[in-house]
A and B are shown apart, each in its own frame.
Chain A
Amino acid sequence: MNELEQAGLARLRDGWTSGGAMFEFAPVSWKEAATASSPDEQERRLLAIAAQALDVALRPAAPKTLKRRPPLPVLALPMLPDRLRPALRAALKFAADARLKTRVAALVASRGFVLHPMDWTPAASSQESPEVYAPWVDWQAGADDEKQSRREHLTAETWDDFYPAARRSALVDLRRTMPALARTLIETKGASEPAEVRLALIELMRFGLNADDVPFLKSLSTDRSGKVREMAGRLLARLGEHANPTDGGSEDPTAELAAFIEEGKSGFIRRRTTYAATKLKSPAQQARRADLFASCYFRDLASHFGKTESDFIGAWQFGVDDNADLFLVRMVSVSGSDAAVACLADMLVAAGGRLVLLTLQLMLRLDSGRKRVLVRQILNDAQNLAALNLVDGAEAGWLEWGDLANGKTLSALRSAVSGDNDVTKRSAEQYLEAIGFLANPVTAEKLIGEVVAAGLPPASPSLGLLRLNAALAENPSQTDR
Chain B
Amino acid sequence: MQLDLKTIEALAPDQASLGAAAKLTKRSNWPRLETNEQLGLIWGECQGSGSNPYRVAFDTRDHGYKCTCPSRKFPCKHILGLMWIGATAPASFARVDQTPEWVNDWLGRRRKPGQQPTQAPASSEGKSIDEASRPDESAPVEDAAAAERREAAQRRRAEDTRSAVSAALDELDQWIADQLRLGLAGFVDACSERCRRIAARLVDLKATALAGRIDELPARLMALRGEERPDAAIRELGKLVLLAKAWRAAPDDAELKRLVSTSETRDQILANPDAVHVESDWEVLGEKIVTRRDGLVSHATWLLDLKSSAPRFAVLLDFFPASAGKRSGAFAPGDRFKARLVFYPSRNPLRALVAERLGDAAPGNWSDFARAGDPLAAYASFQDGAPWLTDCPIILPAGAIALDEKDGAWWQAASDPHGIALPVAGSVSQTLLGLDLAATAALWNGARLELLASQSNMGRLDLS
Chain A residues packing against B (C-beta within 8 Å): 13, 16-22, 40-41, 43-45, 47-52, 54-56, 59-60, 62-72, 74, 79, 82, 86, 116-118, 121, 139-140, 420, 455, 457-461
User: What's the least CB distance linking A319 to chain B, in Å?
Assistant: 42
Confirm or deny: B138 has a beta carbon within 8 angstroms of a beta carbon on chain A.
no
Interface residues of B in 194-251 (CB under 8 A from A): 230-231, 234-239, 241-242, 245
With A52-B383, A68-B402 in contact, is A118–B431 under 8 Å at CB? Answer: yes
Partner of A17, one of B99, B173, B183, B458: B183
Interchain CA distance A140-B110 in the complex, whole Å:
39
In the complex, the chain A residue whose C-beta lies closest to that of B244 is A44
With A48-B242, A63-B404, A68-B433 in contact, is A461–B108 under 8 Å at CB? Answer: yes
Confirm or deny: B420 has a beta carbon within 8 angstroms of a beta carbon on chain A.
yes
User: What's the least CB distance linking A70 to chain B, in Å?
Assistant: 7
Whether the pair B431, A13 counts as a contact (CB closer than 8 A) is: no
With A16-B183, A17-B185, A54-B235 in contact, is A121–B108 under 8 Å at CB? Answer: no
User: What's the least CB distance linking B108 to chain A, in Å?
Assistant: 4
Please give, as numbers and ranges, the residues of chain B lying within 8 Å of A72 by CB-CB distance. 431, 434-435, 458
With A51-B242, A52-B238 in contact, is A459–B99 under 8 Å at CB? Answer: yes
Whether the pair A116, B238 counts as a contact (CB closer than 8 A) is: no
Q: Mark B275-292, 1 if CB is under 8 A from A, else 0.
A: 000000000000000000
Interchain CA distance A459-B176 in the complex, whole Å:
55
User: What's the least CB distance linking A114 to chain B, in Å?
Assistant: 10
Confirm or deny: B267 has a beta carbon within 8 angstroms of a beta carbon on chain A.
no
With A13-B234, A55-B235 in contact, is A66–B421 under 8 Å at CB? Answer: yes
Chain B residues packing against A (C-beta within 8 Å): 39, 99, 101, 103-108, 110, 112, 114, 173-174, 176-177, 180-186, 230-231, 234-239, 241-242, 245, 363, 376, 379-380, 383, 387, 400-405, 410, 412, 417-423, 429-436, 446-447, 457-462
Whether the pair B239, A43 counts as a contact (CB closer than 8 A) is: no
Please give, as numbers and ranges, the residues of chain B lying within 8 Å of A458 by CB-CB distance. 39, 99, 104, 107
Whether the pair B447, A69 counts as a contact (CB closer than 8 A) is: no
Please give, as numbers and ranges, the residues of chain A lying within 8 Å of B106 by CB-CB distance. 459
Interchain CA distance A18-B421 in the complex, whole Å:
30
Whether the pair B234, A54 counts as a contact (CB closer than 8 A) is: yes
Interchain CA distance A313-B422 in the complex, whole Å:
69
With A40-B173, A44-B173, A118-B462 in contact, is A52–B387 under 8 Å at CB? Answer: yes
Contacts between the two chains (Cβ within 8 Å), count:
165
Name, among B180, B239, B376, B403, the residue most crowded by chain A CB atoms within 10 Å (CB to CB): B180
With A62-B420, A68-B402 in contact, is A117–B431 under 8 Å at CB? Answer: yes
In the complex, the chain A residue whose C-beta lies closest to that of B186 is A19
> Top 3 closest A-B pairs, CB basis?
A51-B238, A19-B183, A62-B421
Please give, as numbers and ranges, the residues of chain B lying within 8 Å of A459 by CB-CB distance. 99, 103-108
30 A/B residue pairs, CB under 8 Å, sorted by A: A13-B231, A18-B183, A19-B180, A22-B180, A41-B173, A43-B177, A44-B180, A47-B238, A47-B241, A51-B234, A51-B242, A52-B383, A55-B387, A56-B379, A60-B421, A60-B447, A62-B410, A65-B405, A66-B404, A68-B401, A68-B417, A68-B433, A69-B434, A72-B458, A82-B460, A117-B458, A118-B458, A458-B39, A459-B103, A461-B108
Whether the pair B239, A63 counts as a contact (CB closer than 8 A) is: no
User: What's the least CB distance linking A99 to chain B, in Å?
Assistant: 20
Please give, as numbers and ranges, the residues of chain A lying within 8 Å of B421 by CB-CB distance. 60, 62, 66
Interchain CA distance A13-B180 in the complex, whole Å:
10
Whether the pair A48, B383 counts as a contact (CB closer than 8 A) is: no
With A63-B404, A420-B114 in contact, is A117–B234 under 8 Å at CB? Answer: no
In the complex, the chain B residue whose C-beta lies closest to that of A117 is B431
Contacts beyond the supplied A60-B447, A72-B435, A459-B104: 9 A-B pairs with Cβ under 8 Å: A51-B387, A52-B383, A63-B405, A66-B404, A66-B412, A118-B462, A458-B99, A458-B104, A459-B105
User: What's the least CB distance linking B100 to chain A, in Å?
Assistant: 10
Whether the pair A51, B230 counts as a contact (CB closer than 8 A) is: no
Whether the pair B433, A69 counts as a contact (CB closer than 8 A) is: yes
Please give, as numbers and ranges, the residues of chain B lying within 8 Å of A63 by CB-CB distance. 404-405, 410
Interchain CA distance A116-B412 in the complex, whole Å:
23
In the complex, the chain A residue whose C-beta lies closest to that of B188 is A17
Whether the pair A66, B235 counts as a contact (CB closer than 8 A) is: no
Interchain CA distance A65-B421 in the complex, whole Å:
12
Partner of A44, one of B176, B236, B433: B176
Whether the pair A20, B181 counts as a contact (CB closer than 8 A) is: yes
Interchain CA distance A13-B405 in the complex, whole Å:
26
Please give, as numbers and ranges, the residues of chain B lying within 8 Å of A64 by CB-CB distance. 418
With A16-B184, A19-B183, A116-B458 in contact, is A457–B112 under 8 Å at CB? Answer: yes
Whether the pair B108, A54 counts as a contact (CB closer than 8 A) is: no
With A16-B183, A21-B181, A52-B238 in contact, is A40–B402 under 8 Å at CB? Answer: no
In the complex, the chain A residue whose C-beta lies closest to that of B363 is A82
Please give, as numbers and ranges, the residues of chain B lying within 8 Å of A117 by CB-CB distance. 431, 434-435, 458
With A55-B383, A79-B459 in contact, is A16–B230 under 8 Å at CB? Answer: yes
Please give, as numbers and ranges, the residues of chain A lying within 8 Å of B418 by CB-CB distance. 64
In the complex, the chain B residue whose C-beta lies closest to that of A55 is B446
Whether the pair A71, B434 counts as a contact (CB closer than 8 A) is: yes
Please give, as numbers and ranges, the residues of chain A lying within 8 Å of B185 by CB-CB distance. 17-19
Whether the pair A40, B230 counts as a contact (CB closer than 8 A) is: no
Please give, as numbers and ranges, the residues of chain A lying within 8 Å of B180 by CB-CB distance. 16, 19-22, 43-44, 47
Name, among A40, A60, A74, the residue most crowded by chain B CB atoms within 10 Å (CB to CB): A60
Partner of A50, one of B234, B379, B435: B234
Interchain CA distance A461-B101 in the complex, whole Å:
12
Please give, as numbers and ranges, the residues of chain A lying within 8 Å of B431 by CB-CB distance. 72, 117-118, 121
With A51-B234, A459-B108, A460-B108 in contact, is A17–B184 under 8 Å at CB? Answer: yes
Interchain CA distance A23-B49 in the complex, whole Å:
48
In the complex, the chain B residue whose C-beta lies closest to that of A464 is B108
Please give, as numbers and ranges, the residues of chain B lying within 8 Å of A48 by CB-CB distance. 238-239, 241-242, 245
Please give, as numbers and ranges, the residues of chain A lying within 8 Å of B99 by CB-CB distance. 458-459
